[in-house]
Structure 1
Amino acid sequence: MCGGYARLGDIYKSIEEIMDLPSNQVGLSFPQNKKMVEEELERSLVLIDLCNSMQENLAGLKMSTQELELVLKRGDDAAVQLKVESFIRLAKQAQKPFKKITSSKAVAEDCRMVRVLAEAREMSVSLLESTSHLLLKQFTTTKGSKWSLVQKRKVVFEEEQLQVLEQSMGDLENGAELLFRRLIQSRISLLNILSS
């Protein structure tokens, strides 16, 4: 997943470079393409909001994992169970924004640059949604076997697993932040083309 964020960041960087080509700037500013560009700008706002929401959720989940490590060290089973439930609730909350997202209509063939932006946006939404599903899955399974959330009324975890999970959350958060910055930059480039 982390590699996916880095690759998407590279894709958006390449798209910006392509948008900066004079021929593409002229093509994007043609009156017949302007409406499609404006629609893509609106959709990019939704994606930016999704990415920002994912960053916030990942930060919350990372903090929840750290808190879980602390209560686990203290041996407070009731507090551990509450932290587990809190983590699962946060992971489920990360999936909510994707229920509101619908696939966009096909983009007309005459504006390739807008089609490229739409495809990159769809890949970004897909990666963010996959990340949200992974969060919950990572907490309930590891290496093909179920983590025992409750075993004889006790929560069973290995501290090592939580540290790996915490590191993964940090890596995903950094990836989402990189993608967020690229999305903002891409939107600014598109707005600059429209205003020139």
Structure 2
Amino acid sequence: MMKRPTMAAAFSPNVRSISLPPRSHPTTVRVEEELNKLKSWESSSSSSSKAETICVGLSLLSELYRRIEDLLNLPLTQQALSQDQHQKWVNELLEGSLRYLDACGNTRDSVLSMQETIRELQSALRRRKVGDSSVESVVSAYICSRRKMKKETAKSLASLKPMDGKFGGSGLMLDLDDHLLAVVRVLRETSLITISIFHALLLFLSMPVLKPKASRWSLVSKLVQKGALARKEKQENVDELEGVDMALGNLLMQSSSRDVEGQKIQSAQIRLDALDVSMEGLVKGLECLFRRLIQTRVFLLNIMSH
């Protein structure tokens, strides 16, 4: 089985603590506090499921952008960034905000499409009777949806690569006053941690789809029949997507016992219910973040128009 990166490994090593000037504006300090919450969350999130961990991260990121809006709304910040010599910072922020909006919107649409397929499969399983093979076409549609989501998330990952280390990458200006210096630093950290969270989300959604090859599903079937699947899942930290893949693959295996087949249907339903809840949480988190990113972009465009 392919070894997947841990949640911590998905985060950029460049996300560090900030040392702000001693007289930073209280709004800037509040942005720093939200950044530190995200860093603390990342380091203590290993005990939760991946989807749950990412949902919490998206929520914290939305709150961070709410604080960023407060910072950009300060007359002191707007006056500083609207000066001609500081336009490059605003241009870089605008470029980043557009990429984040695209990644957020495209990912939300992919997850919504995936959730629709999950619910169709749930409905088919509720109607299925033991010995009925009609669910196979719906399972195939689910697998196709997974592959499509994997393809779309790969595109979003590629679009974020040019942003790594870009904001502020040319070095800080020597003539920045304390306030603008603090603003540039927290905005740079925000950009880095936004990319990191998107990486974690997209890597989770683009994990390889388990293909229903006979040899692989025979192994899964044997594990289920021996009562060893639960132990296997615990040892390998099987997440929501892979858990559904395994349950569906086992469901497609022919059973000699009607009782065993009924158990497999029930297991698949439980797995799909959990995945549906996870996808719903991701959709809500992405929608909230999308709105925040739009507001941030509006503030930046207003600064450019001054």
TM-score, length of structure 1 as denominator length: 0.86
Match among 118, 122, 132 for residue 202 of structure 2: 132
Contact kept, 8 Å, 2:117 with 2:145, in 1: the verdict is yes
Higher relative contact order (CA 8 A, sep 6+): 1
CA distance in 2 between partners of 1:106 and 1:173 (Å): 28
Does residue 192 of structure 1 match 2:262?
no
* Structure 1 residue aligned with 2:99: 46
* Structure 2 residue aligned with 1:180: 290
CA distance in 2 between partners of 1:184 and 1:51 (Å): 11
TM-score, length of structure 2 as denominator length: 0.57
CA distance in 1 between partners of 2:66 and 2:253 (Å): 48
Contact kept, 8 Å, 1:69 with 1:159, in 2: the verdict is yes
Match among 246, 256, 260 for residue 147 of structure 1: 246
Does residue 100 of structure 1 match 2:210?
no
Match among 91, 101, 122 for residue 69 of structure 1: 122
Contact kept, 8 Å, 1:44 with 1:187, in 2: the verdict is yes
Q: CA RMSD in A?
A: 2.3
- When structure 1 is superposed on structure 2, of 155-164 and 65-74 the one drifting more is 155-164
Identity %: 30
* Structure 2 residue aligned with 1:85: 143
CA distance in 2 between partners of 1:52 and 1:99 (Å): 15
Q: Judging changes above 3 Å, is the alpha-carbon distance between structure 1 residues 133 and 149 closer, same or farther for their aligned structure 2 residues?
A: farther
CA distance in 1 between partners of 2:250 and 2:297 (Å): 50
Match among 148, 162, 165 for residue 275 of structure 2: 165
Q: For each residue in 1:10-56, what CA deviation from the matched residue of structure 2 results, as whole angstroms up to 9, or x when unmatched?
A: 11111111122222112111222112211220121111100000110
Structure 2 unaligned runs (5+)? 1-53, 129-133, 174-180, 208-238, 255-263
CA distance in 2 between partners of 1:38 and 1:183 (Å): 15
- When structure 1 is superposed on structure 2, of 104-113 and 164-173 the one drifting more is 104-113
Contact kept, 8 Å, 1:91 with 1:132, in 2: the verdict is no
CA distance in 1 between partners of 2:93 and 2:63 (Å): 20
CA distance in 2 between partners of 1:191 and 1:112 (Å): 21
1:192 CA drift (Å): 1.0
